[in-house]
Amino acid sequence: MGRYLRVRSLSLEETKKLRSIAQSKDFTKRMRTSIVLESSNGINVGDISKKLHLNKHTVRLWIRRFNQSGTEGLESKPVPGRPPSITDKQKDAIMRIALTNPRDLGMNFTTWSLSALQDHLQRNKIVKKISGSWIRKILIKRGFPTSRARGGRQATTRITIRR
Q: Is residue 55 domain-shared with residue 92, that is, in the same domain?
A: no
Look at phi and psi of residue 55 and say left if phi exceeds 0, alpha if psi is from -120 to 50, else beta: beta
C-alpha 134: how far from its chain's center? 14
Assess contact for 160 and 145: CB atoms under 8 A: yes
pLDDT, tens digit, for every residue of 62-86?
A: 999 999 999 899 988 888 998 888 9
pLDDT in tens, 118-153: 999 999 999 999 999 999 999 988 887 766 655 444
What pLDDT is recorded for position 56?
93
d(CA 40, CA 95): 30
| Domain encompassing residue 131 | 88-159
In this prediction, residue 143 carries a pLDDT of 81
- What pTM does this model have? 0.51
The string of pLDDT tens digits covering residues 40-63 is: 999 999 999 999 999 999 999 999
The CATH number for 111's domain is 1.10.10
In a domain, residue 4? The reply is no
For 5, left (φ over 0), alpha (ψ -120 to 50), or beta?
A: beta
CA 147 to chain centre: 18
Domain count, the chain: 2
Give pLDDT, residue 49.
93
Q: Is the domain of 94 the same as that of 121?
A: yes
Q: Burial, 142: exposed, middle or buried (Cβ in 10 Å; 0-12, 13-18, 19+)?
A: middle
Exposure string (b/e) for 55-75, b if CB count within 10 Å is 16 or more?
eeebbbebbebbeeebbebbe
Residues 101 and 67 in one domain: no
Query: Do 67 and 106 fall into the same domain?
Result: no
- Residues 16-45: what's their mean pLDDT? 92
Q: Is the domain of 56 the same as that of 95? A: no
